[in-house]
Amino acid sequence: MSRRYKVLIEQDETGVYIATASALPGVVEQGDTVDEAFENMGAAMRFTLDSMLEEGEELPPSDAPHSVEVRDIELVV
């Protein structure tokens, strides 16, 4: 079974990157870099989904049908 979920990465005021997924409320991870936050979030999501399957819970539907990456662009004008 394959599912895709959107993950939002935001940098907090201390410089740490925070990862969340709207399809999995309460699953939050962080990292010192964007890549680390994604890696940590992937592990947390796998753990959560595996636990849901073990408990017989229905998994949330995919909310990201395609791979998309969005990054901020800072412009000084």
What global pTM score does this model have? 0.82
Burial class of residue 21 (count of CB atoms within 10 Å of its CB; 0-12, 13-18, 19+): buried
Mean pLDDT score across all residues of the chain: 89
Structural domain tally of the chain? 1
Count of alpha carbons within 13 angstroms of residue 21, beta-carbon side: 25
- E strand segments, the chain: 8-11, 17-20, 28-31
- The answer to whether residue 35 is domain-embedded is yes
Q: pLDDT category, 17, cuts 50, 70, 90?
A: very high
Q: pLDDT category, 74, cuts 50, 70, 90?
A: low
- The answer to whether residue 66 is domain-embedded is no
- The answer to whether residue 23 is domain-embedded is yes
How is residue 58 annotated by DSSP? Answer: P
With a cut of 80, say whether residue 69 has pLDDT above it.
Answer: no
- The answer to whether residue 75 is domain-embedded is no
Q: pLDDT category, 70, cuts 50, 70, 90?
A: low
Q: What is the mean pLDDT of residues 33-54?
A: 94
Q: pLDDT category, 32, cuts 50, 70, 90?
A: very high
CA distances from 20 to 34, 54, 76, 77 (A): 12, 23, 29, 31
Domain that residue 34 falls in = 8-54
